[in-house]
Structure 1
Amino acid sequence: MSTAADAQLERWLRFRKGRNTALAADHGWLTLTSFQWLESEPAAVDLVPGLWSADGTTATLTAAASDGLTLVETGEPVDGTITAVLANEESLMWVQFGGVDGKQVVVELAVRADRYAVRTRDSKSPVFTAFDGVPTFDYRPDLVVEARFEAFPEPEDVPIATANPLVDGVHRSVGELVFRLPGKDHEYRLHAEEEKLGALTVTFHDETNGELTDEWRKVSTARPRPDGSVVLDFNRAINYPSAFTPYGTCPMPVKNNSLDARIEAGEKQPALAD
């Protein structure tokens, strides 16, 4: 292997180490144990003390000190009624309870499809405690391809489905990544979203989905060069949280972001705990 190839592989191994470390974070995606919509009238929800409700603009929680709930931000006990206001797609790690330190379970308040919901994040979740890394394909240098970014005159908001059939999403397409794959005689065009510092992310289907990989994955690139060129490295294709938990609301690919090829690179379908 050449020195350049060695360096490329080493960078990928560092990427994989960082990815697994991020997934293993306290109260991260691997700890999700429920997703529940809030009703208009105060009511109990599964796995969490207190009475919860939302009126369309404000979420309300009523609990007694004996319920053991505390605010994540300050550690202050919840004794009475508290409220929070979020915009659509926002989330708040709101209250916590359980365990020897009172922090085993964090309750995330979220607004999805303009409706309030709560998700529980339990550090004793078997998916989290059994996690020892995401399985991946071997590194494939041939699936590091040169692409060309063709920006749209203005971003286009494209309606999409999500991992939760009750939640619709929107993909803000800023342009297309145009590229070829080894062994294929035609170009591909994938809609891309813009991330921080001009980086691009594409969410895509390929012919390994449902067999070796989850139903869809995503891959990010650096900011395109001034001439629009960019490296698209499918070895860095990763799963959305919905591959690890049924409680995600992750976006599906836009129509036509499908590859008639087997992308045997990047993350495979994770092995989940029973």
Structure 2
Amino acid sequence: MNATSAGTALESFDADWQDWHAAHERNRAHPHGFLAVTHLHWPGAEATPLEGAPGTWRVDNGVVRVVLEPDESLQRDGQELNTEGGTAVTFGPLEERSGINLASGDTVIEVAKRGGEYIVRPRNPGNPLLQEYQGTPAYTPNAAFSVAGTYVPFEVPRTTTVGAAVEGIQHVYEAPGEIRFKLAGQELTLTAFNGHAPGSLSVLFTDQTSGRTTYQANRSLSVVPAADGTVHLDFNRAVNLPCAYTDLATCPLPPAENRLPVPIEAGEKIPYERQDQK
């Protein structure tokens, strides 16, 4: 490749990253995204009002039950649930890591299951964390941190238990395989979990920048293996999970084997509002 071609390729690499990062920032700052979360509630067996949400809430026989007063509104998919001037509504049972979104005025009420427990998280676009969000700093894109690897499936998916950003719960994932790659002259391996998109894998990791220039608990990278097992790991697209921004998140921590012994000076850094934690 001559100098002109190399320069054009680098410009394209940078431009692609800029477009991706801008889109990721727009998604992060969605009016009802995780920056809008105002409370994290763990309803129990006793009916209790939850700040930021209408009604009284309890968990009973594996489902969530809400009793609404006559003047309270709660909608699902645009349909008003409080149709009788005071209604009891049931949600669930829900699968682990699944959830539903309900509407109450400008607020979205997330009902989900995390670590085997139900959570209720109101999301309001007026939340100061969202209103004051300045964007997330990131390393200048560097093609040296965009590397090829090989996805090696396990003979049987491995049940993997990891900690969480909040105390008292654990997350259990099925790890279908591992990704092997070389970086900074070292042979490295990362355990992969199934990703959100079909055919994708999610990798949680820390590295030698964690707690210094990048968030100390975790970062995440999404990859899609080819049919022959080849995979492209672009660490310039390593992103923060919600727990990097708010204490109202239940994010998983990486498995112990995903603590990389090299500095990954690529991808997102510590958010502005967490710079004091460096």
TM-score normalised per structure 2 = 0.89
Task: Tell whether 2:180 aligns with 1:178.
Answer: yes
From the two aligned structures, give the one with the greater strand fraction.
1
What per-residue deviation string (whole Å, max 9, x for no partner) do you get for residues 40-83 of structure 1? 1211222333211111412111121323x221422416232111
Query: Among 62, 72, 87, which residue is 1:57 paired with?
Result: 62
State the partner residue of 2:223. 221
Is residue 54–residue 74 contact of structure 2 (8 Å, CA) maintained in 1?
no
Query: Among 15, 18, 21, which residue is 2:20 paired with?
Result: 15
TM-score normalised per structure 1 = 0.90
What per-residue deviation string (whole Å, max 9, x for no partner) do you get for residues 173-223 of structure 1? 1111111112x3x31110012333322221101111112111210111232
1:147-166 equivalent positions in 2, closer than 5 A? 147-166=149-168
1:91-240 equivalent positions in 2, closer than 5 A? 91-96=99-104, 102-103=105-106, 105-182=107-184, 184=185, 186-195=186-195, 196-214=197-215, 215-226=217-228, 228-240=229-241
What per-residue deviation string (whole Å, max 9, x for no partner) do you get for residues 105-164 of structure 1? 221111223322211111111111122321111111111111111111121111111112
State the partner residue of 1:99. none
Give the secondary structure class of the aligned counterpart of 1:207. Answer: coil
CA deviation after TM superposition for structure 1 residue 225, in Å: 4.5
Query: Among 73, 80, 88, which residue is 1:76 paired with?
Result: 80
CA 1:167–1:18: 2 relative to 1, 3 Å = same
What fraction of aligned residue pairs are identical, expressed as a percent?
29
CA–CA distance in structure 2, aligned partners of residues 264 and 25 of structure 1: 27
CA–CA distance in structure 2, aligned partners of residues 73 and 89 of structure 1: 20
Is residue 30–residue 128 contact of structure 1 (8 Å, CA) maintained in 2?
yes
CA deviation after TM superposition for structure 1 residue 267, in Å: 0.4
State the partner residue of 2:3. none
Structure 1 unpaired stretches of 5+: 97-101
CA–CA distance in structure 1, aligned partners of residues 115 and 212 of structure 2: 31
Letter in 2 for 1:271: Y
Give the secondary structure class of the aligned counterpart of 2:264. Answer: coil
Task: Tell whether 2:44 aligns with 1:39.
Answer: yes
CA–CA distance in structure 2, aligned partners of residues 16 and 263 of structure 1: 17
